[in-house]
Amino acid sequence: MINVAVNGYGTIGKRVADAVVQQPDMKLVGVSKTRPNHEAKTAGGKKYPLYVVKESKKSFAEAGIEFEGTVEEMWDSADVVVDATPSGVGVRNYELYKGMRTPVIVQGGEAKDSVESSFNARANFENSIGKNLVRVVSCNSTGLARLLTPIEETYGIDQVRVTLIRRGADPGQPGKGPINDVILDPVYLPSHHGPDVKSVLPNINIDTLALKVPTTLMHVHVVNIALEKDTSKEDMCRLLSGESRIHMVAEEEGIKGIAGLKELALDLERPRGDLWENCVWEESVSVKSKEVYLFQAIHQEADVVPENIDAIRAIVNECGQEESMNLTDKTMGMGLRR
């Protein structure tokens, strides 16, 4: 069993913890919180061992929330730490982890140059085997790597151009925006997403630009891919349909936007209404003279969760890419099929 600690029980951390307990080869040794909020209480309700920073012991005790000990004690009992703390904190924590000789997975908000390898299960699983500091790329980069890898393998890619229409905030972030605006994010080109994709697919020629809009549901990508080889709409849809972490939204589903996708996840009783898969509209796939156009939606709270699980196995060299992805997909219930 791989003993896994989740440092930071927020948007990503609580989802990773739930996924860890579903794995037959992993044990959740604990989760951590800095404040005695509702998430800390939820962790206790799930019987997850809760650990706190030393400075917060008094506030947790006053709130009547039981905890096992300090985060340092949690790290010391782990084979791998998944750091799901806010952007910029994970790499700073690494100096503490190194003292305990514990390998660490950080999230996409950390700088790609600050880690030993960036990770996407479909694109470059093997690059993180045995590494001590691994970064799971961001939600948008995860979605693009899943899409581009099979296309590159099958047809070759000359150029990728992507416009990212980004959600303004997560549902649990009422202090963020915009509320009544469309923000160029950033104004200059390219956005950071293209270089981030290249951290796992270094040979891909990709340009990205991004907008931030007033919604909390999902990101949407407008994708144009120039191929090296000819294909057809039918063959492209068949290729993408064969990917376990891509859901092809069929015309007969009647889903024309991201609200419909979230409603589908809720109707299927997905935990928290999560969509771990890329959602590609089959109707949007168009092939013209070696160029492919399509729309895909990315659930920013969820799509990196299976990647974290696979990254755990890669770090400890538990198994290979195919075996890990198959196990993760099975245990998490991947596939938006009724």
Residue numbers annotated as active site: 139
Q: How far is CA 197 from the centre of its chain?
A: 13
Handedness of CA 145, 148, 154, 159 (dihedral sign): negative
**Measured between alpha carbons, how far is 256 from 291 in angstroms, rounded to an integer?**
23
Q: Is 45 exposed, middle or buried (0-12, 13-18, 19+ CB in 10 A)?
A: exposed
> Would you say 148 and 223 are in contact if contact means Cβ atoms under 8 Å apart?
no
Q: Are strands 50-52 and 26-33 parallel, antiparallel or unpaired?
A: parallel
Selection from 108, 111, 169 nearest residue 141 by Cα: 108
304, amino acid identity: V
> Would you say 165 and 296 are in contact if contact means Cβ atoms under 8 Å apart?
no
CA angle 90, 213, 225 (to 5 degrees): 80
> Would you say 136 and 105 are in contact if contact means Cβ atoms under 8 Å apart?
yes
Token pair for 54: 């030393």
**Measured between alpha carbons, how far is 97 from 284 in angstroms, rounded to an integer?**
46
Q: Which helix (H) or strand (E) holds 92?
A: helix 89-99
Q: How far is CA 144 from CA 18, 199, 276, 289, in A?
A: 25, 12, 13, 22
